[in-house]
């Protein structure tokens, strides 16, 4: 994953091609000491919903490697934030 600016990043697909994606949300989890990014490749499913992806970086890590979000707990927090944004147009925080 290569972050270009606050609103764009590039990820490699399974074929190894770089795909431009739009950043939907960035946030930092103080308890876990991780920085997160939620993004989309602008592809929709059969219901017209965007595919969303999320990744994190350990704040203490010396490299900039991003890891995919895999836990239900983290996805639940992300969904709550996105629901908040969808309802109000602005994230209000925890």
Percent over 70 (pLDDT), the chain: 88
pTM of the model: 0.80
Contacts of residue 8, defined as CB under 8 A and 6 or more positions apart, other chains included, come to: 20, 21, 22, 23
Cα–Cα distance list, 28 to 10, 38, 56, 88 (Å):
20, 12, 9, 20
Taking only the tens place, the pLDDT of each residue in 41-85 is 999 999 998 899 999 998 888 887 889 998 999 999 999 988 888
Distance of alpha carbon 52 from alpha carbon 44, whole angstroms: 9
Percent over 90 (pLDDT), the chain: 48
Cα–Cα distance list, 15 to 9, 11, 12, 23 (Å):
17, 11, 8, 22
Q: What integer pLDDT is reported at residue 94 of this predicted model?
A: 44
């Amino acid at each position: 994953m290569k972050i270009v600016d606050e609103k764009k990043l590039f990820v490699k697909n399974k074929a190894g091609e770089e795909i431009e994606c739009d950043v939907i949300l960035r946030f930092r989890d103080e308890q876990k000491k991780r920085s997160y990014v939620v993004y989309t490749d602008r592809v929709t499913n059969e219901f017209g919903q965007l595919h969303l992806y999320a990744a994190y970086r350990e704040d203490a890590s010396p490299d900039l490697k991003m890891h995919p979000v895999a836990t239900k707990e983290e996805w639940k927090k992300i969904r709550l934030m996105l629901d908040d944004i969808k309802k109000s147009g602005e994230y209000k925080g925890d």
